[in-house]
């Protein structure tokens, strides 16, 4: 089973990389950008055949390693 994990900073957590992207886009002539939040996407290809079990495994991976749940949120979707 393939899953995509999207990890982003929680609202209210400062995002210096997103701010750098916003500034760079402005320098390239893109106007009207109020803010940019950046994150990461991780694609997992799991050997587990059962969709529900595979999703639970992906969530456990997020909780233990892929996301810092203190400052980040994550979303798991089938790929």
pLDDT in tens, 11-43: 999 999 999 999 999 999 999 999 999 999 999
Mean pLDDT rounded to a whole number for the chain: 97
Residue 41 lies in domain: 2-78
- C-alpha 69/C-alpha 56 separation (Å) is 16
CATH of the domain at 51: 3.30.1280.10
Whole-model pTM: value is 0.88
Q: How far apart are CA 32 and CA 39, in angstroms?
A: 21
pLDDT band of 48, cuts 50, 70, 90: very high
Overall average pLDDT of the 40-65 stretch: 98
Q: How many CA atoms lie within 13 A of 54 on its CB side?
A: 18
pLDDT for the residue numbered 74: 98
What pLDDT does 78 receive?
97
Cβ neighbors of 76 (< 8 A, separation 6 or more) are 3, 4, 5, 55, 58, 59, 62
Number of domains within the chain: 1
CA distance 74 to 79: 15
């Amino acid at each position: 089973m393939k899953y995509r994990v999207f990890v982003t900073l929680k609202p209210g957590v400062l995002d210096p990389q997103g701010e750098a992207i916003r500034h760079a886009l402005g320098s390239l002539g893109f106007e009207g950008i109020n803010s940019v939040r950046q994150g990461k996407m991780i694609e997992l290809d799991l050997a587990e055949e059962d969709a529900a079990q595979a999703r639970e495994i992906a969530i456990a991976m997020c909780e233990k390693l892929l996301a810092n749940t203190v400052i980040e949120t994550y979303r798991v979707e089938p790929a």
